[in-house]
Structure 1
């Protein structure tokens, strides 16, 4: 195609220049260009004159003899960062195309594509892609196309898809298919299919998938994962299962994303046993269980009132050595405690202690609070001691609750030992803890131990005045021992 005709594919034909014009022709204004674009012809002309002078100063010669490398350097180092002229880069790109001695190569073409995409000037992008189609870079003059063509169009298709401009995306996709050697890979189809799914156009996504198969493009695991997610998102769970089977028939190995999507879909459709069965199939296929998988399973089972089954399943994973180290046991513990079954939570936590998956401080304190509410003070105290032995320091609120519960049941001596142990591990008891201990010793009639706590409280500055001190000592003086 003659060069003059190809340039005419831009919406406003530009006259080929043999000398630098006094001012560059007005660019076609687009609402997506820039908020800095002048709204008057005089303002636009002034900016174009500035661009012309800036370019001439930069190359230190007449711009009519500029090379693609010089233009690219100017665009990158000067115009791109200019506070008021950066939006005129596409106009300068078009102007350069009218020069007799200039021909854009893939460096300037790729830069312009990425510039329009990064600044969201998608209205101009179709013009540029048409220009690339009619004016391939010099390295395409042989029998093979330029290797940069596909990346340029991939970026463009992705940008149009993100913006929901699917007509433009498919048009760009069609142009690219004509320009490249061979066929597009599955990754490019995946961009479009994912875009359709994201914008709730499941029928369009499936249609493109069928076209992909018809064009003999082998779908990959990502393709199937996207479509399975789309089916589940639109409550077509039976179709998702059928596609999962088709996936294996076509030689694509399901990965953790495939299983996670289906497991979540089964829970949404109320098929709890199918969801758990899918997890066991993961194990049989040696597919790695992720922390996301565990979170989906625990959440799905607990929402169906099956927190005990969730704990048993996680225990099974733990014993098989497949429970991920990133697994967060707090939601499971919270649900067990809310369901008045903290004993099951304690059993699971002990399994974690005995393995290479020590529970977090939050999981422990959550369980302690649940045990206290359920009246299992002994278990709560033992768990607190275990935490301290393992170097896990509880929060002050939970610790105070344990001390108060012990003192309320005649265990002031044990509570005081617990306080001393926690102090050695870095927990600083506050005045509330000391008051609870003193009242506990008073109720148990332990004057000597109570006076020692009062002295310690005084040393740490928790007794505000003499009256408070005398009140403690007078109450302890009435004790029998």
Structure 2
């Protein structure tokens, strides 16, 4: 006797205890009509398929359910869940085989499939699924689904030519030209370093009678800045303003950062001052970008002016603002002003990184201002910031050269006061003292020539 294929599938799936129980219970419930096999309702089948971690077992459950009851209307969500399970597990042929059975795949399913294929580095399968949709007698693809396909293709440089060809021929399959679809590929080509193609797509938007949006300008400006074409990016920015667009925060920050890196600090500061007039209030990121640029080029006093102007524009300096200025002032030998900003920080409850304290200690010790260095160290310890061993070496060297008795008082204070003791590794300080005293004794006992 020749058994049908459904018999073998049933025997295979019956090994799964949950499904065998489901079939038994369904058969018991339908004992009045024993000739009509059943494995449960569509809801129970969907629940069973969704609960399986093994996609191949879920597929067998689906096949058995379909073969036992061809008249049972299995939910479309069961199809979708199974197709996605197979695709995400890398069973591409099985997933596409099930996809072909659907008369009209939903946009949500295709969108998820495009993403899954792209993540598994198979954008060609996403394109195949889209062509399957075009071949089916359904309505034209939605613009959102088309953009998702472009994103899936654009994530891989090898698929960029196919994505570009699709974009140029989108009207032939019922998808209207849109700025957002162009933005997807402008961003992809810009990220790949092909600014020429990105610029040509930007110009194509005008040719189609459309108008680029703020995102289009920002993407192209970022690409130009990465290529160090800051002048061209600035011209594009001015063109954007002349056409009535209001640049977003990210567009400003892109150009500010590039101007600072190109040492065009006057232009960066000028742009920062005009932001509010042009409809975009500068935030802490914009201010810190300019502050870092000024300090990096040895102009900390100009950075101080920026900090002083910030409260009037509704933005308060943060930890990065003050720390950057402190380092910038110390690099120019302006230790008193740097100390003043440190006290302002601490007064506002902002605790800087130990490197800011260390820069001040090092600076004061280098000019013989040991008292000021000790005050900085006191503040550091009282705020719970543990000094580096090198910081202690600087203090010890400065005090020993000045007054040994003062050094003894200082070390005793460090050992006795609880707040200092918690923040300091006494063993490290002891080793530093011992090494320093040995060096000094060797220096003093060295015979003079």
In the other structure, the counterpart of 1:279 is 237
In the other structure, the counterpart of 1:58 is 22
> Does the C-alpha gap of structure 1 residues 203 and 427 become closer, same or farther in structure 2, counting only changes over 3 Å?
closer
In 2, distance between residues paired with 1:393 and 1:208?
A: 55
In the other structure, the counterpart of 1:186 is 143
Q: Does 1:199 align with 2:156?
A: yes
In 2, distance between residues paired with 1:383 and 1:125?
A: 64
Residue 225 of structure 1: CA displacement? 0.9
In the other structure, the counterpart of 2:42 is 68
Structure 1 gap ranges (5+): 1-13, 26-44, 137-147, 472-481
CA contact (8 A) 1:58 1:74 kept: no
Deviations along 1:220-254, one digit per CA (max 9) or x if unpaired, are 34311112123434555344334334435657664
> Does the C-alpha gap of structure 1 residues 15 and 225 become closer, same or farther in structure 2, counting only changes over 3 Å?
farther
In 1, distance between residues paired with 2:215 and 2:326?
A: 35
In the other structure, the counterpart of 2:298 is 340
Any residues of structure 2 matched to 1:437-456 within 5 Å, and which? 456=413
Residue 124 of structure 1: CA displacement? 0.7
Any residues of structure 2 matched to 1:153-164 within 5 Å, and which? 153-164=110-121
> Does the C-alpha gap of structure 1 residues 199 and 384 become closer, same or farther in structure 2, counting only changes over 3 Å?
same
> Does the C-alpha gap of structure 1 residues 283 and 391 become closer, same or farther in structure 2, counting only changes over 3 Å?
farther
> Does the C-alpha gap of structure 1 residues 280 and 383 become closer, same or farther in structure 2, counting only changes over 3 Å?
farther
Residue 263 of structure 1: CA displacement? 0.6
In the other structure, the counterpart of 2:90 is 120
Any residues of structure 2 matched to 1:198-237 within 5 Å, and which? 198-200=155-157, 201-233=159-191, 235-237=193-195
CA contact (8 A) 1:333 1:367 kept: yes
Any residues of structure 2 matched to 1:2-401 within 5 Å, and which? 15=4, 21=7, 23-24=8-9, 47-51=12-16, 54-59=18-23, 60-62=25-27, 64-66=37-39, 67-77=41-51, 80-81=52-53, 87-98=56-67, 99-133=69-103, 149-179=106-136, 181-200=138-157, 201-233=159-191, 235-247=193-205, 254-282=212-240, 285-290=244-249, 292-307=250-265, 309-317=267-275, 322-323=280-281, 325=283, 327=285, 333-401=291-359
> Does the C-alpha gap of structure 1 residues 117 and 417 become closer, same or farther in structure 2, counting only changes over 3 Å?
same
Q: Which moved more, 1:87-96 or 1:406-415?
A: 406-415
CA contact (8 A) 2:275 2:281 kept: yes
Secondary structure of the equivalent of 2:139? coil
> Does the C-alpha gap of structure 1 residues 353 and 430 become closer, same or farther in structure 2, counting only changes over 3 Å?
farther
**Superposed CA RMSD:** 4.1
In 2, distance between residues paired with 1:227 and 1:376?
A: 50
Residue 210 of structure 1: CA displacement? 1.8
> Does the C-alpha gap of structure 1 residues 349 and 182 become closer, same or farther in structure 2, counting only changes over 3 Å?
same
CA contact (8 A) 1:64 1:101 kept: no
> Does the C-alpha gap of structure 1 residues 54 and 344 become closer, same or farther in structure 2, counting only changes over 3 Å?
same
Deviations along 1:322-358, one digit per CA (max 9) or x if unpaired, are 3553617666555544433333333333333543333
Residue 374 of structure 1: CA displacement? 1.8
Report how many residues are paired: 410
In 2, distance between residues paired with 1:223 and 1:409?
A: 62
Secondary structure of the equivalent of 1:64? coil
In 2, distance between residues paired with 1:435 and 1:237?
A: 53
Give 1 or 2: higher helix fraction. 2
In 2, distance between residues paired with 1:402 and 1:168?
A: 61
Residue 275 of structure 1: CA displacement? 0.9
> Does the C-alpha gap of structure 1 residues 307 and 122 become closer, same or farther in structure 2, counting only changes over 3 Å?
farther
CA contact (8 A) 2:134 2:173 kept: no
Residue 195 of structure 1: CA displacement? 2.9
Residue 207 of structure 1: CA displacement? 1.2
Deviations along 1:49-100, one digit per CA (max 9) or x if unpaired, are 404x6423114124832442232122234xx14xxx6522112322333344
In 2, distance between residues paired with 1:349 and 1:194?
A: 42
Q: Which moved more, 1:454-463 or 1:170-179?
A: 454-463
> Does the C-alpha gap of structure 1 residues 343 and 251 become closer, same or farther in structure 2, counting only changes over 3 Å?
farther
Residue 112 of structure 1: CA displacement? 1.7
> Does the C-alpha gap of structure 1 residues 151 and 307 become closer, same or farther in structure 2, counting only changes over 3 Å?
same
